[in-house]
Amino acid sequence: IQSLTKAYAATPTNLKIIDLYVVFAVATALVQVVYMGIVGSFPFNSFLSGVLSCIGTAVLGVCLRIQVNKDNKEFKDLPPERAFADFVLCNLVLHLVIMNFLG
């Protein structure tokens, strides 16, 4: 485990920011699940939309990280601006659908 933390410290800062964002999103999802466990899941669509929006942003963040990471051979010729633009577009659609689903 220590070697993991040592190796992790070597990653560049912008990737670390994305990682922090992803961790935050997953934590929010967990909080929502715990809340549902306490209060009950009556407006199920609201619960689902909340949890899925967190998971969705987490997943999109991970995808962005994959595409921006300079060590990834497969995405070598993808300019980071394009990756970010895709990320923004997908997030936009995600949040539009969540808004509709919230009820």
Partner 1 sequence: PRPAPRADETLAQIPPPRPPMAAAASTMLESLPAPLLRALRLKTKQQELLLRVSALALIYVLAFAVRLFSVLRYESMIHEFDPYFNYRTTLYLTEHGYSEFWNWFDHESWYPLGRVVGGTLFPGLMVTAALLHRLLRALSLAVHIREVCVLTAPFFAANTTLVAYAFGREIWDSGAGLVAAALIAVCPGYISRSVAGSYDNEGVAIFALLLTFYLFVRAVNTGSLAWSLAAAFGYFYMVSAWGGYVFIINLLPLYVLVLLVTGRYSQRLYVAYNCTYVLGMLLGMQIRFVGFQHVQSGEHMAAMGVFFLLQVFFFLDWVKYMLNDVKLFKSFLRITLTCVISVGTLALGIGTASGYISPWTGRFYSLLDPTYAKDHIPIIASVSEHQPTAWSSFMFDFHILLFLFPAGLYFCFKRLSDATIFIVMYGLTSMYFAGVMVRLILVAAPAVCLISAIAVSATIKNLTTLIRSKSKSPQTTGKTTGSKAAAKGAVDQPLPFQHNVAVALLLGAFYLLSRYAIHCTWVTSEAYSSPSIVLSARGHNGGRVIFDDYREAYYWLRQNTPTDAKIMSWWDYGYQITAMGNRTVIVDNNTWNNTHIATVGRAMSSYEDEAYEIMQSLDVNYVLVVFGGVTGYSSDDINKFLWMVRIGGGVFPVIKEPDYLVNGEYRVDKGASPKMLNCLMYKLCYYRFGELTTEYGKPPGYDRVRGVEIGNKDIKLEYLEEAFTTSNWIVRIYKVKPPKNRS
Using CB under 8 A as the criterion, which residues of the chain lie in contact with partner 1 when the complex forms?
3-4, 7-8, 44-45, 48-49, 52, 55-56, 59-60, 62-64, 66-67, 71-72, 74-75, 78, 82-83, 86-87, 89-90, 93-94, 97-98, 100-101
For the chain, report the end-to-end CA distance as a whole number of angstroms: 44
**How far apart are CB 101 and partner 1 at their closest, in Å?**
6
- CA distances in angstroms from 69 to 7, 35, 93, listed in the order given: 15, 35, 24
Our CB check for partner 1 shows the closer of 28 and 52 to be 52
Our CB check for partner 1 shows the closer of 35 and 93 to be 93
Our CB check for partner 1 shows the closer of 31 and 100 to be 100
Provide CB contacts within 8 A for 39, sequence distance 6+.
none
**How far apart are CB 87 and partner 1 at their closest, in Å?**
6
Would you say 25 and 54 are in contact if contact means Cβ atoms under 8 Å apart?
Answer: yes
Cα–Cα distance between 45 and 93 in angstroms, integer?
18
Our CB check for partner 1 shows the closer of 35 and 100 to be 100
Cα–Cα distance between 33 and 27 in angstroms, integer?
10
